[in-house]
Amino acid sequence: MAAIAEVARPAAAIRACIFDAYGTLFDVNAAARAMAGELGADWQPLANAWRSKQLNYSWLRSLMGAHADFWQVTADALDFALDERGLNRPDLRRRLLDLYYNLACYPEVPDMLRRLKQAGLITGILSNGAPAMLQAACASSGIAGLIDHCMSVEEVGIYKPDPRVYRLVTERLNLPAQAVAFHSSNGWDIHAGKRAGFYAIWINRTGQPAERLPNPPDVTLDSLDDVPAILGAA
């Protein structure tokens, strides 16, 4: 994690804090983990395959010009992951999807959002998730009242990292990109956000190596705990 004293502070005044949803605010492993008692040692490999294929399908559909919303992509990815592990049970599929629809957020998220809002910063989500998915996750994790704007790729019909997705933020908020702090746990997403002009904070929860892509993040952290202090909202 970057030490706060060593962080390159944003050059412009930050007025809005925008977050990726899945893996950044919401724990993408929570659904499979909740069924660890039944899945046993299969739960983590299943969660990993589900997430990997979910992202792969979003990119492939964008390249193919065959958009489907993220709920369909999520279900298709789960079907692949279950098939790969020989777990073709309709009841298991249904329960995992129900759990994913109502994901928990990471423990530090509610307090972090409260501190940002108390400092007068705008909060928002920019996600691949379909609007109904995002609303359900915000409600189930108790953060709906802490999010000012919830922006979905469904508004442009293509997935991240297409530049049109990131432009949703500046268009919706009527702010210059330099006034936005963008947070994501996905390295590829944070590089795209930085390329769009945002102050980019990579939440590298799993200790991944740096991506070999242009426009690296301004800050790398291992959780969202220190975000308010970095943005002067402590």
Give the separation between CA 74 and CA 216, rounded to whole angstroms.
28
What is the DSSP track for 36-69? HHHHGGGHHHHHHHHHHHHHHHHHHHHHHT----
Residue 76 appears among annotated catalytic residues: no
Maximum Cα interatomic distance, the chain, rounded to a whole number of Å = 53
Give the separation between CA 192 and CA 197, rounded to whole angstroms.
9
How far apart, in Å, are the Cα atoms of 168 and each of 23, 57, 162, 177, 228?
Answer: 20, 22, 11, 11, 23
Active-site pick, 20, 27, 218, 226: 20
In degrees, rounded to 5, the angle at the alpha carbon of residue 191 between the alpha carbons of residues 222 and 214 is 125
Sign of CA dihedral 118, 128, 32, 190: negative
- Indicate which residues carry an active-site annotation: 20
